[in-house]
Amino acid sequence: MHHVHLMAADIDTTVSFWRYGFGGQVVHDAEFAGARNVFLRIGTGRIHLYEQPPKHLGQGTVHHVGVQTDELESVVARVRAMGYSVTDIRVEPTASYAMAQGPDRLLVEIFQPDPAGLPPELHEFFGLEISTTPEESTP
C-alpha cells in the first residue's frame, strides 16, 4: 500500500486542513493526468489530493487506494484474470498506471513510477533508490 487518494473540491482548504491540523508536509504540487495533485506526507503515511469534487452524490472523498509495483503488466494481468475490471495501462511522463475496480466498487490505482521521469526530490517518497554511476561515487 502506498497512498490513499482523496478528492478535494477546494484543494487549498484541504491542504491547509492536513498541514495545520495534522502536521502534513507537502512533498509535491503539480498537474498530473489533467488535474492538480498534491502529495503529502503525514507521519509515516501518504495522502494524495486530487483537485476535483466527488463525482457522485454520496461517493465521499476517497477516490482510490494506490498500490505501487515494479511489475505493472503482470499485476494488471493477474487482477484481470480474477475477473475484475481493469483499464488499459496509461503512460504519463512520471509513472504508468491502470485503475481496477475491486470488491464493493473500491477503485484501486496500480502504478509504477518511472525514476527517469520522476523529479529527484520524489525518489525517496516513492521508495526509489537514486542510482549513481561509479564515477559519481568516487571521491
pLDDT score recorded for residue 134 = 46
Could you confirm whether domain 3-137 is CATH 3.10.180.10? yes
Q: What is the pTM of this model?
A: 0.65
Phi-psi region of 10 (alpha: psi -120 to 50; beta: other; left: phi over 0): beta
pLDDT score recorded for residue 106 = 72
pLDDT score recorded for residue 84 = 84
Grid coordinates given for 138: 568516487
pLDDT score recorded for residue 38 = 95
pLDDT score recorded for residue 98 = 95
pLDDT score recorded for residue 58 = 61
Low-confidence ranges of the chain (pLDDT < 70): 21-22, 56-59, 103-104, 130-139
Task: Report d(CA 111, CA 94) in Å as an integer.
Answer: 10
